[in-house]
């Protein structure tokens, strides 16, 4: 971190600042110029409050040189992290597809979809049991029963399963769920993130509707700081002024995140577009731009789905897409 001090900064105030920083474990080196003094902060500045420094009378500006995330930072961990889930893995050069319904509805529904996506090459099955809905009158998910049905589909097909947790109190139900999803609306539920840091189970963190990539990485850092290194990041579209699509898929997040972090990055084209017929194009784009995989919604009867039918692919659409994805991944950004 570097501070630029105001030219009127008095020596006593500067000494006081240096002493205070020292109590925080940070050394200082000042470069005194004719016009201004620049002060370099040396040591772990992750606990230093930048806004507080900025507010001091003697400080003109503050600049962070190092990113505030350490465990998630590629600088300190150059090799890709590969998250292993049963026989599947995400990261390190492959392309893993997680597919399934937005919500688990019935045993017949989730088992049929699981079989279909497995046949088409999906590595994991998704299915929501706890649904974060904008309206309290909308279908809220089957909750505990939904998890049970999802686990039946896991038993039937052998596919590892991914499901969203909305609250710490629900975690005991997730014992046999292979990947715990933190949804966009919970990306900054810090108490939940800390709790997930105590587990060793893989955690899929979706980018919040209005969160920066740095904030997403700080959420991953919360889980990693607790000791859980098994994190998968997901770009699922952000809110912009555009209304034609449900969200705006920020595909540039993929190369940016791949540079900044060693964690695997997947894309959710379903919540990004909100419209099934646009999902294949963005899925192929995600593979081309270097994503480590996808999480995509598939329903055997989208018209009657209890949640997100409009954006759900039919098993036939998914099967065609999976085939084309293999070719694109082979020539995409991961290959050069």
Residues 6+ apart with CB under 8 A from 226: 193, 194, 196, 197, 198
Binding partner of 183, given Mn ion, ligand PEP, none, CB within 5-8 angstroms per partner class: ligand PEP
132 binds ligand PEP (CB under 6 A): yes
Among positions 82-111, residues that touch ligand PEP (CB under 6 A) are: 102
Q: How far is the CB of 296 from ligand PEP (least distance, A)?
A: 10
Say whether residue 167 binds ligand PEP (CB under 6 A).
no
| Range 21-60, binding ligand PEP (CB under 6 A) | none
Whether 44 and 25 have beta carbons less than 8 Å apart is answered as yes
Q: Specify the stretch interacting with ligand PEP by CB under 6 A; choose among 16-24, 46-54, 179-187, 218-226.
A: 179-187
Q: Toward ligand PEP, which CB reaches closer, 39 or 238? A: 238
CA 324 to chain centre: 25
271 binds ligand PEP (CB under 6 A): yes
Q: Which of 146, 183, 197, 315 binds ligand PEP (CB under 6 A)?
A: 183
Tokens 């609250």 — which residue?
167
Instruction: Tell me how crowded residue 168 is: count the other CB atoms within 10 A of its CB.
Output: 13
Strand pairing category for 27-32 and 37-42: antiparallel
- Paired tokens of 33: 């110029």
In the list Mn ion, ligand PEP, none, the entry touching 236 (Cβ below 5 to 8 angstroms by class) is ligand PEP
Q: Minimal distance in Å, beta carbon 185 to ligand PEP?
A: 6
Q: Is 112 in the site for ligand PEP (CB under 6 A)?
A: no
| Closest to 271 (Cα-Cα) out of 254, 290, 289, 250 | 250
- Which x/- pattern over 232-261 shows residues binding ligand PEP (rule: CB under 6 A)? ----x-------------------------
Buried b (16+ CB within 10 A) or exposed e, 111-150: bbbbbbbbebbbbbbbbbbbbeeeeeeeebbbeeebbebb
Pick what 260 binds: ligand PEP, Mn ion, none; C-beta below 5 to 8 Å, kind-dependent: none
Give the shortest CB-202-to-Mn ion separation in angstroms: 20
Chain position whose Cβ is nearest to ligand PEP: 183
The helix (H) or strand (E) run that includes residue 223 is helix 213-225
The DSSP string of 139-188 is ----THHHHHHHHHHHHHH---EEEEE-SGGGGGGGTT-SEEEEPGGGTT
**220 touching ligand PEP, by CB under 6 A:** no
Q: Which two tokens stand for residue 4?
A: 């630029």
Round to whole Å and give the CA distance between 239 and 208: 9
What string marks each residue from 101 to 130 as x (binds Mn ion by CB under 5 A) or -? -x----------------------------
**Measured between alpha carbons, how far is 145 from 110 in angstroms, rounded to an integer?**
12
Nearer to ligand PEP by Cβ, of 204 and 284: the residue is 204
CB of 298 to Mn ion, least distance (A): 11
> What is the DSSP code (8-state) at residue 36?
-
Q: Which residue(s) pair with 259 in the sheet?
A: none
Q: Which of 100, 101, 128, 269 binds ligand PEP (CB under 6 A)?
A: 128
Binding site for Mn ion (CB under 5 A): 102, 308
Binding site for ligand PEP (CB under 6 A): 102, 128, 132, 164, 183-185, 206, 236, 268, 271
């Amino acid at each position: 971190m570097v501070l630029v001090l105001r030219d009127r900064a008095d020596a006593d105030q500067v000494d006081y600042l240096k002493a205070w920083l020292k109590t925080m474990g940070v050394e200082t080196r000042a470069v005194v110029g004719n016009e201004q003094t620049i002060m370099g902060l040396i040591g772990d500045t992750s606990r230093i409050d930048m806004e507080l420094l900025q507010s001091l009378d003697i400080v003109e500006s503050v600049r962070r040189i190092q990113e505030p995330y350490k465990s998630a930072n590629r600088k300190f961990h150059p090799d890709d992290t590969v998250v292993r889930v049963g026989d599947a893995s995400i990261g390190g050069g492959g392309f893993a597809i997680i597919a399934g319904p937005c919500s688990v509805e019935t045993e017949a529904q989730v088992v049929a979809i699981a079989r279909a996506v497995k046949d088409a090459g999906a590595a994991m099955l998704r299915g929501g049991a706890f649904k974060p809905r904008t309206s309290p009158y909308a279908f809220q998910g089957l909750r505990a029963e939904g998890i049970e049905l999802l686990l039946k589909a896991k038993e039937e097909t052998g596919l590892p399963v991914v499901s969203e947790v909305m609250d710490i109190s629900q975690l005991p139900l997730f014992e046999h769920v292979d990947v715990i999803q933190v949804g966009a609306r919970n990306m900054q539920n810090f108490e939940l993130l800390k709790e997930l840091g105590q587990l060793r189970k893989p955690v899929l963190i979706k980018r919040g509707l209005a969160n920066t990539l740095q904030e997403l990485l700080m959420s991953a850092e919360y889980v990693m700081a607790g000791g859980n290194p098994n994190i998968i990041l997901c770009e699922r579209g952000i809110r912009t002024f555009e209304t034609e699509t449900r969200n705006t898929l920020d595909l540039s997040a993929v190369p940016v995140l791949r540079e900044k972090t060693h964690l695997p990055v997947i894309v959710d084209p379903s919540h990004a577009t909100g419209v099934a017929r646009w999902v294949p194009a963005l899925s192929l784009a995600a593979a081309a731009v270097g994503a480590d995989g996808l999480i995509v919604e598939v329903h055997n009867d989208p018209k009657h789905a209890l949640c997100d039918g409009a954006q759900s692919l039919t098993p036939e659409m998914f099967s065609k897409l999976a085939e084309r994805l293999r070719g694109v991944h082979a020539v995409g950004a991961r290959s050069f």
